[in-house]
Amino acid sequence: MQEGFSPFSHPIIFDNDNALLTASEKLNSEMQGRRSVREFSNKPIPKEVIDNLLRIAASAPSGAHKQPWTFCVIAKEDLKALIREAAEKEEYTNYHGRMSEEWLEDLKKFGTDWHKEFLTTAPYLIVVFKKSYDLESDGGKAKNYYVSESVGIACGFLLSAIHQLGLVSLTHTPSPMNFLGELLKRPSNEKAYLLIPVGYAADDATVPNLDRKALSEVMVNY
């Protein structure tokens, strides 16, 4: 075996194709129930659950295994309130002239506006930062690779895991997001990527009626 390598063995092995197919059907049907939710319950979640979710997110593949991400977890009510205030200020501007008519039209079916109540209701806000480069102890910069792809994949892992635990999330992108780096005092090599509230769905939560594209529209077999 090549130096620096170890044998790989997968922790999940199905006995036969039938078991594999059944498992894929079950997983698909569970994942089809994932929705972006904007109405959260304030029911608490043990912090250890969030720790495990972030272990899962941080297990994602990344360019040259540089793991170019930081996940900030906000549980403090006063900080959530500051984030909400800053996000709503930007969104007010977005909805009152910064977004094009076409964009506003595209958003109509979601019923969104500048109010972002979920930022103070959800028990946790996860702010994901991407690191275009790493800051070394001597102040030098070390290159990271495929940073947006890597952080996007990590967020995908996170959203999937959140759903599989019966919790909900929203991929929120207040724009511009610079205020997050400022409020959270992040170093200059970190840029806010996504703001993800996590919690239980409110008992009376609703989601818009949306269709997903059929497999035939998104898959091409060669």
Number of helices (H), then strands (E), belonging to the chain: the values are 8, 6
Q: Residue 29 carries which side chain, given as an amino acid letter?
A: S
Q: How far is the CB of 103 from ligand IYR (least distance, A)?
A: 7
Nearest to 69 by CA among 170, 140, 152, 139: 152
Judged by beta carbon, residue 67 or residue 177, the one nearer ligand IYR is 177
**Which residue has the closest beta carbon to ligand IYR?**
112
Q: How far is the CB of 170 from ligand IYR (least distance, A)?
A: 9
CB 42 within 8 A of CB 119: no
Judged by beta carbon, residue 62 or residue 86, the one nearer ligand IYR is 86
Q: How far is the CB of 113 from ligand IYR (least distance, A)?
A: 7
Judged by beta carbon, residue 118 or residue 144, the one nearer ligand IYR is 118
Q: How far is the CB of 102 from ligand IYR (least distance, A)?
A: 11
Give φ, ψ of 123 to 5 degrees.
-65, -30
CB 80 within 8 A of CB 180: no
Judged by beta carbon, residue 123 or residue 174, the one nearer ligand IYR is 174
List interacting residues with ligand IYR (CB under 6 A): 91, 94, 107, 110, 112, 172-175
Alpha-carbon distances of 72 from 32, 191, 206, rounded to whole Å: 28, 12, 28
